[in-house]
Amino acid sequence: MPDREERGHVLVVIAREAIGERFGLAARARRDEPWLAQPAATFVTLRLEEDLRGCIGSLDARRPLGEDVAANARAAAFSDPRFGPLTAGEFARVSVEVSVLSARTPLEAASEREAASRLRPGVDGVYLEYGDFAATFLPQVWESLPDPVEFLAALRHKARLPARFWDPAMRLTRYTVEKFGDGCPAR
């Protein structure tokens, strides 16, 4: 397996090429490295001048890493319901971040206070489920919501639940990410 820097470079290139194909840009030769064939869950986040431009991902490892990154990159660019499809002009300026998720683990908590006390700000991504409602925040969201109680309130709001709602039937799971980014637009 290549080192972290090389893995990150390859994953970001896969994401960029998956988006670029829609604009008629040729992709490099197919990659068949064994580590890309291992099942993995990923999120691809696109930013335009520091503003979110798309973010779509998978919470559970159901397809090979390389395929998951490519599919999520295309979805973040062209299918995120919060934004219109990415344009060719935006593609030239957008930065790409790939997050590879660990397996989710249950976060048992009988109350919001207990859940907040068990969270690791800056480390944990959190997935919330309650009936038909669900939402997740990647660990990167801690940068803008550093307080665990506010983090959970915003997550419930994202799931279309009241911000201060709590019910024992609510399920929380957490995960960590290995994050890679190009940090700069394509040239």
Which tokens sit at 51?
């503003």
pLDDT digits (tens, 9 = 90+) for 82-116: 999 999 999 999 999 999 999 999 999 999 999 99
pLDDT digits (tens, 9 = 90+) for 53-82: 999 999 999 999 999 999 999 999 999 999
| Among candidate residues 122, 99, 115, the one with its CA nearest the CA of residue 45 | 99
Q: Where are the domains of the chain?
A: 4-101, 105-175
| Dihedral over Cα of 86, 92, 94, 97: its sign | positive
Gap between the Cα atoms of 13 and 19, Å rounded: 10
pLDDT digits (tens, 9 = 90+) for 21-52: 999 987 776 678 999 999 999 999 999 998 99
Q: Could you confirm whether domain 4-101 is CATH 3.40.50.460?
A: no
- CB-neighbour burial class of residue 82 (10 A; exposed 0-12, middle 13-18, buried 19+): exposed
CATH topology of domain 105-175: Dna Ligase; domain 1 (3.30.1490)
